[in-house]
């Protein structure tokens, strides 16, 4: 077993120097108090994050909006410790988001991390999530929770990301913005919000277009968000939320090492010939009915329903069957579900407590058709013969979950709280095969599998002083395979479904401290250890067809640290550092007869990540600015650690002006990304069978924005 050693690297020195700088910059007058944010994700009830035994951070609205394109969650999440958020610079794919290494394997969408908007799931019953459903210009904050308590949200081991949309102002407002940037990027937004009698409303629409940094990299996306809150009475509120988008984007695919560092703007082999691209639409409607029976008891009911259409064209290698050079994968999805929760608080044995009990149900139906394609045009999916077949797959994928959970807090003393909970999760995956022919390769591949597990968690927080809280947690983690991961037992064209894939199970330990170093400085530090059995990993990934398998044992150990401070003259400092040691903890041989050695690093995980920001505002001119710095260590691209993307350090600048003229508000801003034109790899494709692991990041680029708002 390897020892977990802290080395005095330049990154560690940089973090240490932040502490040293605090004492030099202190002044005794006109201090700004740095407060911990109130969060709802950790306990499902609004509570000060400082008093919780949970690693949770909040990205505020100004960090989501100021100098940002607001198209990818990775723009905002890079500042959160413990989170890896890589922008693939590819509108055809969701950003790569993982927490403590969970989710790093994802080839499509987000895995291992549950995603919500206003309590409404964006993660399907099988565990796959699409965060791109929500327009970030309609979001007021993002809560990011890591660690054991994440298991109380269901079958994901890594964490929870919840986006909270804006509330309506008391007076009606209209806001609009327009942005222009490098690579033909344009974005426009328009928003109207306000209150009328007992109804609060927020309407937001946006349009996005880009030519893309690389060849075959253009995309466009239109989004709309509508939120209505009906104040039926003092005790009863009903909120309705509608999210819609329509998107088309080309996919430039990955590059091999030689191409990634010599011609980073080039499209991957086969992408142009196969016209790799995606077209998708998504509509989701959710409701949140809240009723308070009295000051101690309330219920909430959150039903939701939606549809999603997704057509993706993928490239195939030259040896593809019957001279096809591509594959079209079409999914038509209907989904719905609900969460019913009772919240109770009171006094028991002279000790204050609160408790939440809930039931959650979800269902997803995917009608899936997989067809060979010629030059980006799908063949007739009814043609099935040995001479010129078009259809590879036609089936219905059905997933369900039915969960029960309990979560609560008991204050044993004024300075010591116990938090605990448990969730029983049951997930069903079912395949109804409608592609059955006389060909033995196309037999009946119908089947079903059920996973269930109870995951308990317990934690305690000791409020050592008014400015220091210490906490410790332990919890069980449980992560089931998604339908994407269960689709193919191998990457071969005639692969059967992979219903023998096991769920992964984890033991998660965590220690943390939250402290106010002085009246203007807040710091958090968390240490954790996670051991996992049967972790789900990428086995092979060829031409967009990824297959998955179970590793024997893995382990993760790490440290997360963040610090925020306010100084005189409107200068502020923020820093976040993540140290992650994610390893395979036993030898195993996968189905491709490849042996992965104990001690190998889990691909897609960065050992060190550092984000720092120095911001300055000059109020008389309405001027704001910030210098951002980001460091990522090297990252391995496959299980055998045969290759890696090198470490990089980049710097970004954002600045602008704000004005208020009677009822008008104006803002002008500029963002310069990758100021020193660093060549680096923005993300990697894990275990790519064609060795096209690398997705180059953009060179130096800019974004200019203008916005105006009027209050009636």
Q: Is 121 left (phi over 0), alpha (psi -120 to 50) or beta?
A: beta
Per the domain annotation, does 591 fall within a domain?
yes
Q: What is the pLDDT of residue 689?
A: 82
SS3 per-residue string spanning 293-339: CCCCEEEEEEEEEEEEEEEEEEECCCCCHHHCCEEEEEEEEEEEEEE
Which whole number is the average pLDDT over 511-530?
96
Q: What is the pLDDT of residue 12?
A: 42
Percentage of the chain surpassing pLDDT 90? 73
Per the domain annotation, does 54 fall within a domain?
yes
Strand, helix or coil at 430?
Answer: strand
Alpha-carbon gap, residue 426 to 402, rounded angstroms: 5
pLDDT tens track for 289-303: 999 999 999 999 999
Strand, helix or coil at 583?
Answer: strand
**Residue 548 pLDDT class (50, 70, 90 cuts):** confident
List phi, psi (to 5°) of 19: -60, -45
More confident residue, 390 or 663: 663
Print burial letters for 304-337: b (CB count within 10 Å at least 16), e (below 16).
bebebebbbbbbbeeebeeebbbbbbbbebebbb
Q: Which residues contact 636 (CB under 8 A, 6 or more apart)?
A: 600, 601, 602, 603, 604, 605, 643, 644
Alpha-carbon gap, residue 626 to 298, rounded angstroms: 43
Per the domain annotation, does 137 fall within a domain?
yes
Q: Is 156 left (phi over 0), alpha (psi -120 to 50) or beta?
A: beta
Which whole number is the average pLDDT over 427-454?
84
Q: What is the pLDDT of residue 381?
A: 66
Are β-strands 96-99 and 83-86 bridged in parallel, bridged antiparallel, or unpaired?
antiparallel
**Residue 15 pLDDT class (50, 70, 90 cuts):** very low
Per the domain annotation, does 5 fall within a domain?
no
Q: What is the pLDDT of residue 423?
A: 96
Which whole number is the average pLDDT over 29-48?
79
E-assigned strand segments in 147-218: 159-165, 173-181, 185-196, 199-210
CB contact at 8 A, 538 and 583: no
Residue 228 vs residues 202, 287, 290: alpha-carbon distances, Å: 7, 10, 14
Q: Most distant CA pair in the chain: distance in Å?
A: 84
Q: Which domain holds residue 80?
A: 10-711
Give me the chain's average pLDDT, please: 89
CATH of the domain at 540: 2.40.170.20
Which of 94, 154, 694 is closest to 407 using CA atoms? 154
Per the domain annotation, does 577 fall within a domain?
yes
Strand, helix or coil at 30?
Answer: coil
Are β-strands 664-673 and 648-661 bridged in parallel, bridged antiparallel, or unpaired?
antiparallel
Q: How far is CA 690 from the centre of its chain?
A: 27
pLDDT reading at 347 higher than 50: yes
Residue 266 vs residues 103, 216, 270, 592: alpha-carbon distances, Å: 27, 8, 11, 31
Which of 493, 560, 566 is closest to 326 using CA atoms? 493
pLDDT tens track for 471-485: 999 999 999 998 888
More confident residue, 444 or 633: 633
Tokens read off for 101? 């290494």
CB contact at 8 A, 41 and 145: yes
pLDDT reading at 315 higher than 50: yes
pTM of the model: 0.91
Which whole number is the average pLDDT over 676-697?
92
Which whole number is the average pLDDT over 644-660?
96
More confident residue, 693 or 321: 693
List phi, psi (to 5°) of 13: -65, -40
Which whole number is the average pLDDT over 348-355?
95
Q: What is the pLDDT of residue 383?
A: 58
**Residue 237 pLDDT class (50, 70, 90 cuts):** very high
Alpha-carbon gap, residue 79 to 66, rounded angstroms: 14
Percentage of the chain surpassing pLDDT 70? 90
How many helices and strands (H and E) does the chain possess? 5, 40
pLDDT reading at 337 higher than 80: yes
Per the domain annotation, does 321 fall within a domain?
yes
**Residue 436 pLDDT class (50, 70, 90 cuts):** confident
Alpha-carbon gap, residue 390 to 383, rounded angstroms: 5
Per the domain annotation, does 4 fall within a domain?
no
Alpha-carbon gap, residue 126 to 146, rounded angstroms: 20
Q: Count the domains in the chain.
A: 1
Per the domain annotation, does 37 fall within a domain?
yes
pLDDT reading at 214 higher than 90: yes
């Amino acid at each position: 077993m390897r020892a977990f050693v802290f080395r005095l690297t330049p990154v560690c020195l940089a973090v240490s120097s932040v502490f040293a700088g605090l004492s030099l910059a202190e002044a005794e007058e006109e201090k700004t108090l740095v407060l911990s944010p109130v969060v709802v994700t950790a306990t499902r009830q609004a509570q000060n994050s400082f008093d919780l035994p949970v690693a949770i951070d909040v990205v505020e609205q100004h960090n989501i909006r100021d100098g940002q394109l607001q198209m990818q969650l990775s723009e905002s999440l890079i500042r959160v410790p413990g989170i890896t958020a890589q922008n693939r610079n590819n509108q055809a794919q969701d950003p790569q988001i993982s927490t403590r290494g969970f989710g790093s394997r994802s080839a499509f969408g987000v895995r291992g991390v549950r995603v919500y908007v206003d309590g409404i799931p964006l993660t399907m019953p099988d565990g796959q999530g699409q965060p791109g459903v929500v327009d970030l210009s309609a979001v007021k904050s993002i809560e990011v929770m890591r660690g054991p308590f994440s298991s109380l949200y269901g079958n994901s081991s890594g964490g929870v990301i919840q986006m909270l949309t804006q509330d309506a102002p008391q007076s009606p407002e209209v806001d609009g913005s327009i942005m222009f940037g490098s690579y033909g990027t344009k974005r426009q937004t328009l928003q109207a919000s306000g209150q009328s009698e007992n109804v609060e409303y927020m309407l937001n629409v946006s349009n996005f277009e880009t030519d893309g940094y690389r060849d075959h990299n253009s995309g466009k996306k239109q989004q709309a968000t509508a939120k209505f809150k009906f104040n039926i009475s003092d005790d009863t509120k009903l909120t309705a939320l509608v999210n819609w988008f329509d998107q088309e984007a080309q996919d430039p695919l990955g590059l091999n090492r030689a191409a990634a560092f010599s011609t980073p703007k080039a499209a991957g082999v086969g992408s142009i010939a196969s016209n790799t691209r995606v077209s998708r639409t998504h509509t989701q409607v959710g409701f949140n009915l809240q009723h308070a029976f009295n000051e101690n008891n309330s219920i909430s009911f959150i039903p939701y329903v939606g549809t999603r259409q997704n057509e993706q064209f993928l490239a195939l290698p030259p040896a593809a069957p019957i001279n096809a050079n591509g594959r079209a994968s079409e999914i038509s999805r209907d989904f719905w579900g609900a969460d019913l929760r009772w919240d109770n608080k009171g006094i028991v044995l002279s000790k204050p407590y609160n408790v939440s009990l809930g039931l959650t149900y979800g269902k997803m139906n995917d009608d899936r058709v997989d067809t060979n394609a010629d030059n980006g045009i799908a063949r007739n999916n009814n043609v099935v013969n040995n001479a010129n077949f078009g259809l590879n797959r036609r089936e219905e994928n059905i997933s369900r979950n039915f969960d029960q959970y309990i979560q609560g807090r008991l204050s044993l003393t004024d300075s010591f709280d116990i938090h605990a909970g448990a969730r029983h999760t049951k997930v069903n995956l079912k395949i109804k095969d409608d592609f059955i022919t006389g060909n033995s390769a196309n037999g009946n591949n119908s089947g079903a599998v059920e996973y269930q597990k109870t995951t308990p968690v317990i934690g305690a927080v000791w409020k050592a002083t008014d400015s220091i809280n210490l906490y410790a947690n332990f919890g069980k983690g449980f992560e089931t395979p998604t339908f994407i991961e269960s689709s193919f037992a191998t990457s071969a064209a005639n692969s059967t479904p992979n219903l023998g894939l096991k769920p992964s199970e984890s033991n998660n330990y965590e220690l943390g401290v939250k402290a106010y170093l002085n009246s203007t400085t807040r710091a958090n530090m968390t240490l954790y250890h996670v051991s996992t059995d049967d972790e789900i990993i990428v086995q092979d990934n060829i031409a967009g067809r990824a297959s998955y398998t179970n590793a024997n044992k893995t382990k993760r150990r790490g440290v997360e640290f963040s610090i925020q401070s306010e100084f005189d003259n409107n200068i502020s400092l923020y820093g976040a550092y993540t140290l992650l040691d994610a390893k395979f903890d036993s030898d195993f041989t996968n189905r491709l007869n490849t042996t992965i050695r104990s001690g190998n690093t889990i691909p897609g995980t960065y050992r060190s990540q550092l984000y720092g920001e120095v911001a300055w505002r000059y109020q008389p001119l309405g001027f704001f600015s910030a210098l951002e710095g980001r460091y990522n260590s090297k990252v391995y691209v496959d299980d055998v650690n045969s290759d890696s993307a090198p470490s990089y350090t980049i710097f970004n600048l954002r600045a602008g002006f704000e004005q208020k003229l009677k009822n008008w508000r104006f803002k002008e801003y500029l963002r310069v990304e990758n100021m020193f034109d660093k060549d680096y790899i923005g993300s990697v494709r894990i275990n790519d069978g064609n060795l096209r692991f690398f997705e180059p990041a953009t060179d130096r680029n800019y974004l200019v924005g203008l916005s105006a708002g009027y209050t009636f």
